Chains A and B, each alone.
Chain A
Amino acid sequence: MTDLAIRVENLSKRYRIDLVQERPDTFRDMIVSKFQQIRNRLSHQEKSRYDNPSFIWALNDVSFTVERGQVLGIVGRNGAGKSTLLKILSRVTNPTEGLGEIHGRVGSLLEVGTGFHPELSGRENIYLNGAILGMRREEIDRKFDEIVDFSEVGKFIDTPVKRFSSGMYLRLAFAVAAHLEPEILVVDEVLAVGDAEFQRKCLGKMNDVAQEGRTVLFVSHNMSAILRLTQETIVLDQGKIALRAPTPEAVDYYLNLGLSKEGERTWAPEEIVDKNRSFQPIALRVLNNQGKVVDTVNASEGFSIEFEYGLSEAISGLRVGLYMMTTRGEFVFTTFDTDDPQMYEAYSVRPAGRYISRCKIPPDLLNEGRFVLGVNASTYRIKRYFQDDKVLTFNVDATGAPGTHWPEQRLGAIRPSLDWAIKKTK
């Protein structure tokens, strides 16, 4: 009992959907809704809370305990309730129902750089950010040099952070957060950003924290990081705990049971602003080599990306293409469906109709990590019909990729299988 770090019982969180969708209320809305409430009350229309369609349960009856010193992973697709859970645990928001108890100070890395002000210098931001995260001034004084060292911003420490590169900014932000010494550390997706070197550093720091016997809750889409850092993992689905198991089992469950149904973005007709447009995007999908829509693909198996769209009139010279970027925003490649001159000849004019342009990504091309897909439909130098640089993100799992017999992180966005020859010359 004494070794408990977190205990939550029947935790639930309800959001009003209209609040989720359209934020800014106005006095008019308030007055209208008050009248509706009165009318409902008069006609006894008050429904049971659970089937009221204007509420969603982001978290529904979640109970678990975490022991001191444990590193617990939390996985689940977007909207499964991960962020809500972390927000409740870090006291940003209150549960609608249920109870929780937390033993010790909670440090949250819900997003590094919270409260950073672009006009202030690195030094000033360290103090400000430290105070926001709950550090005392003398604590920051004491760790100041260590933080600067860790961040590697060195002589730029007195420059306003708006002049920092995104990498420096991130390193500084993480450095402050990493030197907070809470009993419980809550980490959400920090590792999704930054270069490999930075990620390696973050993982190292988290390992240290865990070694020191502190409790870590680690939420990530990066399965290999989850596997590396945690022994036990909770799988959340639709606000409930679907499974709590040793990490390899939980990750398998998450990847295989079709829980990760993301990997698809569809456009509703209302989303197209200009109704007279001749090009309408319909869907972008990431497919594994069994043709299933997936959020995570295996690098060594190969996969495909398909873009479905409609043309309301014939377009000549159309090219439909994909951008692939890292989550840091670096382009990995750009490709068009008519890159091949023969294809360009064959599809010089595309008549009105519905199309799918599918691109096969060969095995052993991408490194593990998260990638961003963008689409573009245009005619060269004449017209751009549609462009969206950030349509969806997906994961690449490196199991079985070249060199994975060394369980280390590889630098670079791609991890191709290349021909090596070794010759003894003497």
Chain B
Amino acid sequence: MDSTRQKNAQAPITYLRPSKGWLSIDFKELWRYRELIFFLTWRDIKVRYKQAVLGVAWAILQPLLTMVIFSVIFGNLLRTPSEGIPYPLFSLTALLPWQLFASALQRTSISLVGNSNLITKVYFPRLAIPLSSIFAALVDFGVSFVVLLGVMIYYQYWPTWNTLWLIPMVLLTLLTALAVGLWFSALNVQYRDVQQMVPFIIQAWMYASPIVYSISIIPEGIWRLLYGLNPMVGVIQGFRWVLLGTEQPDITMLISSGVVLILLISGLYYFRRMEKTFADIV
């Protein structure tokens, strides 16, 4: 506010005022609270495996079992074409980024309501909560990635320098989950319908992504472009390209990234706008 008064006091001054309209994002403040984000992430992981006998092994078993089911149904029974790649490997390469996305989205969507006891009692940037949910999903992904490497080696596919492309792909996955998750988590504070809807949305989204089938069954041209509106299309195509040497992602990747950007910016603004009322209505 006015700088003269600020100089007089040694302590930092916080101003309380009514919230109006859209607020910009205070990245500096978020950075100051990075330890909180770390501890919330750590709590999420710790608590999830605390009373499970198999513990973190679940992060390995989940994609592995899903892969087996998919391989039996879509690979062996339905004979879904898999671009000449062994079906188990074909589906696992897609399952990994998909499960990262699905669990990140699922956790983020309910994160604010799940942490309502914090929100109503202590101040901190509310963004810390969905962010920590995203990071917790990332840790699981890291563990299950080892499985993928194992299956790749079994089928004699070796990682190359190209594998480094996975980093931007994973980032894109996380940003997609964050973008949608910000909308859902903020909406869920006011309308609990959201948390009932999320599992269905995730399920429908999975079939709208080339996980059990190959993108090549979508006709080129306008349909392919529309298909690219689903950000997970670009990500999964990218994963297969990098790890299995299939067709390189084309324009769909660009469309996917554009969609994510729009969702993310609008999501952030919506979240920030609603942030100030979370404590009153959660």
Q: Is the CB of A95 within 8 A of B121?
A: no
Tell me whether A8 and B16 are in contact in the complex, defined as CB-CB below 8 angstroms, given that A26-B191, A26-B193, A131-B39 are known contacts: yes
Q: Is the CB of A15 within 8 A of B18?
A: no
List of A residues within 8 angstroms of B279 by Cβ? 87, 92-93
Segment of A114-122, A359-367, A386-394, A410-418 in the binding face: A114-122
B190 CB within 8 Å of chain A: yes
Q: Is the CB of A131 within 8 A of B16?
A: no
Q: Is the CB of B15 within 8 A of A99?
A: yes
| Alpha-carbon distance A334/B46, docked complex (angstroms) | 44
Candidate in B119, B276, B281 with the most chain A CB atoms within 10 angstroms? B281
Q: Is the CB of B9 within 8 A of A103?
A: yes
B123 CB within 8 Å of chain A: yes
B117 CB within 8 Å of chain A: yes
Segment of A104-112, A217-225, A273-281, A288-296 in the binding face: A104-112
Q: Is the CB of A133 within 8 A of B122?
A: yes
Taking CB atoms and an 8 Å cut-off, the chain A residues in 16-55 that contact chain B are 19, 23-27, 30
List of A residues within 8 angstroms of B276 by Cβ? 93-94
List of A residues within 8 angstroms of B192 by Cβ? 24-26
B280 CB within 8 Å of chain A: yes
Taking CB atoms and an 8 Å cut-off, the chain B residues in 264-282 that contact chain A are 276-277, 279-281
Q: Is the CB of B281 within 8 A of A115?
A: no
Chain B nearest CB, measured from A189 CB (Å): 12
Chain A nearest CB, measured from B49 CB (Å): 10
Chain B nearest CB, measured from A29 CB (Å): 8
| Alpha-carbon distance A96/B17, docked complex (angstroms) | 8
Q: Is the CB of A183 within 8 A of B11?
A: yes
B79 CB within 8 Å of chain A: no
Tell me whether A27 and B18 are in contact in the complex, defined as CB-CB below 8 angstroms, given that A92-B279, A105-B12, A108-B122 are known contacts: no
Q: Is the CB of A111 within 8 A of B16?
A: no
Tell me whether A91 and B16 are in contact in the complex, defined as CB-CB below 8 angstroms, given that A119-B50, A131-B35, A137-B35 are known contacts: yes
List of B residues within 8 angstroms of A4 by Cβ? 9
Taking CB atoms and an 8 Å cut-off, the chain B residues in 175-199 that contact chain A are 190-193
Contact of A99 among B5, B8, B16, B118 (CB under 8 A): B16
B166 CB within 8 Å of chain A: no
Chain B nearest CB, measured from A121 CB (Å): 10
List of B residues within 8 angstroms of A19 by Cβ? 280-281
Q: Is the CB of A115 within 8 A of B191?
A: no
Chain B nearest CB, measured from A370 CB (Å): 21
Candidate in A11, A89, A103, A128 with the most chain B CB atoms within 10 angstroms? A103
Taking CB atoms and an 8 Å cut-off, the chain B residues in 94-130 that contact chain A are 117-124
Candidate in B5, B35, B122, B123 with the most chain A CB atoms within 10 angstroms? B122
| Alpha-carbon distance A88/B123, docked complex (angstroms) | 10
List of A residues within 8 angstroms of B8 by Cβ? 1-2
List of B residues within 8 angstroms of A102 by Cβ? 13-16
Chain A nearest CB, measured from B84 CB (Å): 46
Tell me whether A99 and B17 are in contact in the complex, defined as CB-CB below 8 angstroms, given that A93-B280, A120-B43 are known contacts: yes
List of B residues within 8 angstroms of A92 by Cβ? 119-123, 279
Q: Is the CB of A15 within 8 A of B280?
A: yes
| Alpha-carbon distance A96/B280, docked complex (angstroms) | 12
Tell me whether A27 and B122 are in contact in the complex, defined as CB-CB below 8 angstroms, given that A98-B18, A99-B17, A102-B16 are known contacts: no
Q: Is the CB of A110 within 8 A of B123?
A: no
| Alpha-carbon distance A160/B41, docked complex (angstroms) | 18
Task: With CB as the reference atom, state the residue of chain B lying closest to A111.
Answer: B121
Q: Is the CB of B122 within 8 A of A90?
A: yes
Tell me whether A27 and B15 are in contact in the complex, defined as CB-CB below 8 angstroms, given that A127-B39, A128-B43, A132-B39 are known contacts: no
| Alpha-carbon distance A2/B4, docked complex (angstroms) | 11
A308 CB within 8 Å of chain B: no
Contact of B122 among A98, A115, A120, A183 (CB under 8 A): A115
A97 CB within 8 Å of chain B: yes
1/0 contact trace for B10-41 toward A, CB 8 Å?
A: 01111111110000000000000001101110
Tell me whether A97 and B18 are in contact in the complex, defined as CB-CB below 8 angstroms, given that A117-B47, A119-B50 are known contacts: yes
Task: With CB as the reference atom, state the residue of chain B lying closest to A102.
Answer: B14
| Alpha-carbon distance A114/B8, docked complex (angstroms) | 34
List of A residues within 8 angstroms of B13 by Cβ? 101-103
A134 CB within 8 Å of chain B: yes
Q: Is the CB of B47 within 8 A of A119?
A: yes
A61 CB within 8 Å of chain B: no
A124 CB within 8 Å of chain B: yes
| Alpha-carbon distance A96/B193, docked complex (angstroms) | 28
Task: With CB as the reference atom, state the residue of chain A lying closest to B14.
Answer: A102
Task: With CB as the reference atom, state the residue of chain A lying closest to B39.
Answer: A131
List of B residues within 8 angstroms of A11 by Cβ? 16
Q: Is the CB of A114 within 8 A of B14?
A: no
A100 CB within 8 Å of chain B: yes
B51 CB within 8 Å of chain A: yes
A328 CB within 8 Å of chain B: no
Contact of A120 among B9, B46, B280 (CB under 8 A): B46
Task: With CB as the reference atom, state the residue of chain B lying closest to A135.
Answer: B35
A354 CB within 8 Å of chain B: no
A136 CB within 8 Å of chain B: yes
| Alpha-carbon distance A100/B1, docked complex (angstroms) | 11
Tell me whether A114 and B122 are in contact in the complex, defined as CB-CB below 8 angstroms, given that A26-B193, A131-B36, A183-B11 are known contacts: yes
List of B residues within 8 angstroms of A103 by Cβ? 9, 11-13
Candidate in A89, A94, A99, A127 with the most chain B CB atoms within 10 angstroms? A94
| Alpha-carbon distance A111/B116, docked complex (angstroms) | 13
Candidate in B43, B46, B193 with the most chain A CB atoms within 10 angstroms? B43
Known pairs A11-B16, A131-B38; list 18 more (Cβ under 8 Å). A2-B9, A26-B192, A91-B14, A93-B276, A94-B16, A94-B276, A96-B18, A101-B1, A101-B13, A101-B16, A104-B12, A106-B123, A110-B122, A119-B46, A120-B43, A128-B42, A133-B122, A160-B50
Write 27 A-B pairs (CB below 8 A) sorted by A numbering.
Answer: A11-B16, A19-B280, A26-B191, A26-B192, A27-B191, A30-B190, A30-B191, A87-B120, A87-B279, A92-B122, A93-B279, A94-B16, A98-B18, A99-B16, A102-B16, A105-B11, A105-B12, A108-B123, A115-B117, A124-B46, A128-B43, A131-B39, A131-B40, A132-B36, A132-B122, A137-B35, A160-B50
Q: In the A-B complex, list the 8 residue pairs whose CB atoms are closest, starting with the nearest.
A: A104-B11, A100-B16, A91-B123, A131-B39, A102-B14, A93-B279, A114-B121, A2-B8
Interface residues of chain B, those whose CB is within 8 Å of chain A, are: 1, 5, 8-9, 11-19, 35-36, 38-40, 42-43, 46-47, 50-51, 117-124, 190-193, 276-277, 279-281
